Amino acid sequence: MITESASAQGLRPAGLPRRIVSLVPSATETLHALGLAERVVGRTRFCVHPRPWVDGVPAVGGTKDPDLAHVARLAPDLVVVNHEENRPEHFPALAALAPLHEGTPRTVDEALLDIAALALRTGAEARGAALAARVQAARTRARERCAARPAFTYAYLIWRSPWMTVGADTYVSALLAEVGGMNVFAARPERYPALDAEQLLAAAPERLFLASEPYPFRPAHAAEFGALAERCRLVDGELLCWHGSRMVAAFPYLETLDRP
């Protein structure tokens, strides 16, 4: 969603940020795509794209455990945060250092709006509009190419011990729905339900997606799913979890996920 701090009544803020710390990997990549690389003065160790540029930006810790003193030394005038990537309990301390841009999209449309909001906040409206247009074009192509294909059921695992999946109210679930994916755990009230083996087997998804992040599933993990092992597929968690500029590549990737 776009918060009041991000949209600012739809008007560009009077003072454009010149020193940005991004604590969200997808936002760091998107800031680069918006032509703002020289303004990004800090990032997390999980902000790894695009290289080699990102390697030259100081790291201020992780997404969940940023070094607030290091952030302060960088003297930012904007800090980019996300309610899922970061811990909201850190937000008051961060807000004392600089204004926050808070964006936590849960749908594709909200992700597109967040691109526009971040571009507006940083004075990069033209690049933001161009990026959003590229995403929308990729989205339209994927929808058209998959329209005649049968829908497929899936479970998307993000963690092991316990196994955890995504619920309906998540960006991943919304993204997969674009190409006919039907989440077998959509009725669960939790956004990230924990599962046991019996629940997973009973749901009988046609595809069992094992994400590369946040838990780094490997081919050997498929054997742990017994009768569902042949339905397992390792998938790129960055393409399916990161919003922003990575969405341009996400939609062509989505077109392949209904296949064995």
| Lowest-confidence pick of 134-138, 213-217, 241-245, 255-259 | 255-259
With respect to residue 106, please indicate whether it lies within any of the assigned structural domains. Answer: yes
Q: What are 118's two structure tokens? A: 């971040």
Q: Do residues 106 and 35 share a domain?
A: yes
pLDDT recorded at residue 118? 97
Find the CATH number of the domain harbouring 33.
Answer: 3.40.50.1980
pLDDT recorded at residue 3? 39
Domain that holds residue 117: 4-123
Q: What are 56's two structure tokens? A: 């030259």
Widest CA span in the chain:
59
257 sits in the region (left: phi over 0; alpha: psi -120 to 50; else beta) called alpha
Q: Do residues 10 and 52 share a domain?
A: yes
Average pLDDT over residues 143-166: 95
By the 8 A CB rule, do 104 and 83 touch?
yes
Enumerate residues 6+ apart whose C-beta is below 8 A from 23: 43, 44, 60, 63, 66, 79, 80, 81, 82, 85, 86, 94
At 13, is the pLDDT very low, low, confident or very high (cuts 50, 70, 90)? low
Q: Do residues 54 and 110 share a domain?
A: yes
Q: Do residues 20 and 118 share a domain?
A: yes
With respect to residue 111, please indicate whether it lies within any of the assigned structural domains. Answer: yes
Angle between helix 247-254 and helix 125-146 axes, rounded to 10 deg:
0
With respect to residue 141, please indicate whether it lies within any of the assigned structural domains. Answer: no
14-65 pLDDT, tens per residue?
579 999 999 999 999 999 999 999 999 999 999 999 999 999 999 999 999 9
With respect to residue 138, please indicate whether it lies within any of the assigned structural domains. Answer: no
Domain count, the chain: 2
Final residue in a domain of this structure, among 77, 106, 123: 123
Mean pLDDT of all residues in the chain?
A: 92
By the 8 A CB rule, do 57 and 42 touch?
yes
Instruction: Please give the model's pTM, rounded to 2 decimal places.
Output: 0.90
Residue 259 above 70 pLDDT? no
User: Would you call 151 helix, strand, or coil by DSSP?
Assistant: coil
Q: Do residues 66 and 167 share a domain?
A: no
Q: Do residues 14 and 100 share a domain?
A: yes
pLDDT recorded at residue 7? 39
pLDDT recorded at residue 257? 87
Angle between helix 125-146 and helix 25-33 axes, rounded to 10 deg:
110
Alpha helices in the chain (DSSP H): 4-7, 25-33, 68-73, 91-95, 108-122, 125-146, 171-177, 197-203, 237-241, 247-254
Residue 90 above 70 pLDDT? yes
